[in-house]
């Protein structure tokens, strides 16, 4: 399906707060990552509703670009991918969080690949797969130092021997997860790479082989360490236009996929020393115009951004003033001659109104710096009540 800005949700334009998702940029980011990954296949991570961008439209574009499989965090996230006809049913979907034994029926129903990290879970999944006539594919998950999930490196061989004869289970992958691949100090990253490589070699010496060997997240892909790419990579944040940190020596040339927009819904001219919003935390410094925009913390505009946020209107920056409310916030536009209905942009870019500057922009990194967090949290916090509008640039 070709998504355009004409594919408005039913409530648009009654609600002018929207997130525009540029699927053309998503595809371009995929190709950039693919070039850096060399011969490795790609498992785009589309968990958390594709990092807030919309799982089905993004997954469709990524599958069309040649994704080997899709990665989600939980089985429930795969439901729309299996029920929406835009995603071919034969598309492999791997759940990257190890499951509980009682999840066996759901994995069989949705035909999901899973992380193998528990003998009890493997036995339960084997029994259910045999009962339903399925063969479930698994990825042996190795803990090389993240200490979140997986089998300890020294236990990997014993674990494989204990599960290799379980019926209706095929362990065709082996994986780990890096804790520091996006940091300037790469010593721990390379230690994890070595531990993983040594574990794979031990298993190979015992006669075990794997179709998919994977560990590289966005940071590891950017680092272009050939020994860390293995046969499959798992990009996440980079797909959506952000490098995982500013410490990378060779950041990926990717561009943000999401723009966040709203519009002015009311204007009022106020004298100096007039309080704005809850708690009167801001008082006008001079006679000025205050514009109200219909977006607030229930949309993902964090209340902690109060007195720290700016927006773009007509190619200029303006400050959000006063406490950010649940559904609205206020912008001091001074003497600018804007009218009700004027577009206000919170994330994205605009042509600058200043001759000496070609473009102005605000991205999730700007918010993240103000909140002492990371762009992942910003993107995934844009709530579901903000309509997503899809187009291809």
CA angle in degrees (0–180, nearest 5) for 184-189-193? 150
User: So what's the pLDDT on residue 3?
Assistant: 37
User: So what's the pLDDT on residue 14?
Assistant: 73
Among 144, 143, 124, smallest CA distance to 195 is for 144
User: So what's the pLDDT on residue 1?
Assistant: 34
User: So what's the pLDDT on residue 145?
Assistant: 97
Cβ within 8 Å of residue 189, ≥6 positions away: 178, 179, 180, 181, 183, 220, 223, 225, 228
Q: Is 278 a catalytic residue?
A: yes
DSSP alpha helices (H): ranges in 23-118? Answer: 23-37, 47-52, 55-64, 75-83, 104-110
User: So what's the pLDDT on residue 12?
Assistant: 62
List domains and CATH numbers for the chain: 38-240 (3.20.20.10), 258-391 (2.40.37.10)
Q: Is 261 a catalytic residue?
A: no
User: So what's the pLDDT on residue 197?
Assistant: 96
- Catalytic residue (choose from 8, 89, 278, 317): 278
Strand partners, 341: none
pLDDT string in tens for the chain (393-residue length) = 333 344 555 666 678 999 999 999 999 999 999 999 999 999 999 999 999 999 999 999 999 999 999 999 999 999 999 999 999 999 999 999 999 999 999 999 999 999 999 999 999 999 999 999 999 999 999 999 999 999 999 999 999 999 999 999 999 999 999 999 999 999 999 999 999 999 999 999 999 999 999 999 999 999 867 778 999 999 999 999 999 999 998 999 999 999 999 999 999 999 999 999 999 999 999 999 999 999 999 999 999 999 999 999 999 999 999 999 999 999 999 999 999 999 999 999 999 998 888 999 999 999 999 999 999 999 999 999 999 999 999
- Catalytic residue (choose from 3, 47, 107, 282): 47
User: So what's the pLDDT on residue 11?
Assistant: 61
User: So what's the pLDDT on residue 8?
Assistant: 55
Among 248, 216, 250, 251, smallest CA distance to 234 is for 216
How far apart are alpha carbons 42 and 18 in whole angstroms? Answer: 30
């Amino acid at each position: 399906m070709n998504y355009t800005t004409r594919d408005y949700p039913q409530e648009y334009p009654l609600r002018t707060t929207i997130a525009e998702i540029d699927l053309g940029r998503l595809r371009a980011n995929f190709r950039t990552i693919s070039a850096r990954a060399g011969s490795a296949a790609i498992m785009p991570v589309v968990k958390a509703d594709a990092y807030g961008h919309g799982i089905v439209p993004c997954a469709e574009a990524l599958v069309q670009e040649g994704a080997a499989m899709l990665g989600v965090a939980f089985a429930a996230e795969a439901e729309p991918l299996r029920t929406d006809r835009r995603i071919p049913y034969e598309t492999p979907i791997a759940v990257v969080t190890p499951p509980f034994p009682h999840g066996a029926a759901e994995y069989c129903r949705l035909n999901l690949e899973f992380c193998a990290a528990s003998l009890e879970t493997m036995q339960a999944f084997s029994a259910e797969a045999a009962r339903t006539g399925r063969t479930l594919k698994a990825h042996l998950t190795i803990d090389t130092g993240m200490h979140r999930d997986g089998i300890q490196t020294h236990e990997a061989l014993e674990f494989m021997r204990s599960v290799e004869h379980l019926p209706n289970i095929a362990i065709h992958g082996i994986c780990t997860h890096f804790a520091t691949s996006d940091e300037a100090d790469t010593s721990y990253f390379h230690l994890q790479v070595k531990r993983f490589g040594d574990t794979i070699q031990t298993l190979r010496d015992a006669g075990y082989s794997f179709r998919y060997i994977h560990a590289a997240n966005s940071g590891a892909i950017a680092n272009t360490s050939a020994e860390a790419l293995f046969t499959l990579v798992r990009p996440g944040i980079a797909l959506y236009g952000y490098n995982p940190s500013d410490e990378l020596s060779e950041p990926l040339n990717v561009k943000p996929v999401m723009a966040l927009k709203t519009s002015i819904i009311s204007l009022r001219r106020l004298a100096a020393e007039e309080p704005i919003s809850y708690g009167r935390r801001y008082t006008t410094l001079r006679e000025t115009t205050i514009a109200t925009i219909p977006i607030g913390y229930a949309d993902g505009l964090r209340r902690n951004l109060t007195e720290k946020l700016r927006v773009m209107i007509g190619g200029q920056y303006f400050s959000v003033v006063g406490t950010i409310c649940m559904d609205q916030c206020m912008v001091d536009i001074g003497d600018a001659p804007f009218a009700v209905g004027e577009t206000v942009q919170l994330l994205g870019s605009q042509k600058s109104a200043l001759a000496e500057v070609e473009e102005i922009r605000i991205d999730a990194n700007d918010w993240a710096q103000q909140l002492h967090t990371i762009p992942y949290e910003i993107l995934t916090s844009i709530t579901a009540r903000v309509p997503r509008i899809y187009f291809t640039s």
